[in-house]
A and B are shown apart, each in its own frame.
Chain A
């Protein structure tokens, strides 16, 4: 987990509220990713960014938004349009695409009631 910070570790929100999850890295990596993990399931890609000021939708982008204004930061906003937001959210970084491995943060567990 070293070099990637996700805060907070646990987050509770009421239905209908937007919430922003933080992801900060000091690895100087160009690529950053947001994944969602549901209990007993694998990873699903929400958004990714190859470079500052650019990002692409992943497989499940609906109801989420991101920004990449700085190389170190890639915040994820879970909007009220996301129908089932309760999940474990993981941020990852990589030096680049292709054969570069991804490094993961410790995750944020979001509970919406």
Chain B
């Protein structure tokens, strides 16, 4: 079965330190990969995506993610965390084969940045 795993329910980071939110996936063939962020009582906002090409993808608000095919991972990173980065982060994936309209979603990781 195709799936996305976000192994950490919560990640705590001190402001100014680098942060990583982990995502691993299991899909048939090559994937399209996405990261979204959700602030309390709001809809999700798109951060970045991997389609093809360079394994390091840069997105909004200084976030980046690295696609690692051998480890089937797409971890979200930021060099220096801000308190305002505190939110819920979702990883999502869909197989490239076909015109697949459904995303497979991870359960989400709560990121807490402490001053």
Chain A residues with a Cβ under 8 A of chain B: 1, 4, 6, 31, 41-43, 45, 48, 50, 56, 58, 88, 90, 92, 94, 96-99, 101-107, 109
Q: Are A101 and B34 in contact (CB under 8 A)?
A: yes
Residues in B whose Cβ lies below 8 Å from that of A6: 43
Binds A, one of B16-24, B67-75, B76-84, B99-107: B99-107
Which of A41, A42, A97, A106 is B42 in contact with, Cβ under 8 Å?
A106
One of A50, A98, A102, A107 near B46 (C-beta < 8 A): A102
Main SS class of interface, B: loop
A109 to chain B, nearest CB (A): 7
Asked if A42 contacts B106 (CB within 8 A), the reply is yes
Given A42-B90, A42-B105, A98-B94, also A107-B100 (CB < 8 A): no
* Residues B79-115 near A (CB distance < 8 A): 90, 94, 96, 98-103, 105-108
Closest Cβ–Cβ distance, residue A78 to chain B (whole Å): 18
Cα(A102)–Cα(B105), bound, Å:
12
* B contact set with A: CB distance below 8 Å: 32, 34, 36, 41-46, 49, 51, 90, 94, 96, 98-103, 105-108
A104 touches B43 (CB 8 A): yes
Chain B residues with CB under 8 A of A45: 102-103
Name B110's closest neighbour in chain A (CB-CB): A40
User: B43 to A48, Cβ gap below 8 A?
Assistant: no
